[in-house]
Structure 1
Amino acid sequence: MDIFGDSNLIVPCETEWGKWWQTLEEVHVEVNVPKGTKSKEVKVDATNTDITCIVAGKTIFSGKLFKKIKGSELIWSLEDGGALLNILLVKLNYAGGEDPWPSLMGDFRYKFEQNAYEEMKKSTEMEKLKEQVMNRSI
């Protein structure tokens, strides 16, 4: 029995290019791209502080992230026949006590609406609690 219920609730932040959401340790970004997009048309670069996403020569987003990530661990893939670009970012130095990011970028672009952010905070608090309980039972 899972006493936490649906503690892995995904609360997405909708954007003009797709959506993004997060867990305690990761940031997931989904970019809607033209169907049939090929991997050679995609360029996703990240450092620990910045990210750039270019598809077919067009910059989708670029700038300083809200917090640091492990830039060398960035993973991206094309899915749904080349219509969806998935990007996975791993948060840097996650220690378990951080609040979720209120926006993807440091300048507050792609910011959660307040109600959605509160839902995200509840979801991550449940995730933190579940992690603590699981660590104690090992």
Structure 2
Amino acid sequence: MSNFDERSGIVPCTASWGHWYQTMEEVFLEVKVSEGTLAKEIKCTIKPKHIMVVIKGKTVLEGTLYEPVQADEAVWTFEDKKLLRICLPKAYTTADHCWKSLIQGQYEANPWTFDQMEKKLTLERFQKENPGFDFSGADLSGNYHGGGPQLPS
């Protein structure tokens, strides 16, 4: 995670298998796995518009991603034999590409969570556009949907 994420925290969207969250550039999944699972029992297939996660022969999640990802750059790690972390680099990396759901029609953020996700991505954009300023503790009000207002020059 970037320094901005470490300072500002994440806005997770909870699912039966764990949770997912996003930055302007990436979508992260944290999948709970039953203890004692071996890495060889995990199959993670990532394509530009599709994801499938199978653990011990059981499909945990599968479907068409909300937006395309750079599948060749995606990575997954298996930590402490109980947590599967997946990093999906977004194909579109601007604040106006805030994912409303992980998979089309599944794991949708509720309105409050999506609102918080949009705020975070907008603040992240401001941070990138204004290096040297710390927006991690900032609060945003007004209309920021679709990437937010432009800061005055």
TM-score w.r.t. the length of structure 1 is 0.87
Query: Which residue number in structure 2 is paired with residue 43 of structure 1?
Result: 43
- In structure 2, the gaps of 5 or more residues are 133-153
Pairing 1:89–2:96 present: no
Query: Which residue number in structure 1 is paired with residue 97 of structure 2?
Result: 99
| Alpha-carbon separation, structure 2, partners of 1:101 and 1:42 | 26
Percent of residue pairs bearing the same amino acid type: 33
Relative contact order higher in (CA < 8 Å, ≥ 6 apart): 1
TM-score w.r.t. the length of structure 2 is 0.79
C-alpha contact (below 8 Å) 2:95/2:118 kept by paired residues: no
- In structure 1, the gaps of 5 or more residues are none
- Runs of 4+ in structure 1 off by over 6 angstroms are none
Any idea what the Cα deviations from partners look like across 1:7-29, whole Å, max 9, x if unmatched?
Answer: 63310000001000000000000
Any idea what the Cα deviations from partners look like across 1:13-55, whole Å, max 9, x if unmatched?
Answer: 0000100000000000000011121110001011110000000
CA RMSD of aligned residues (A): 1.7
| Alpha-carbon separation, structure 1, partners of 2:7 and 2:108 | 22
C-alpha contact (below 8 Å) 2:48/2:69 kept by paired residues: yes
Would you say how many aligned residue pairs link Structure 1 and Structure 2?
128
C-alpha contact (below 8 Å) 1:9/1:123 kept by paired residues: no
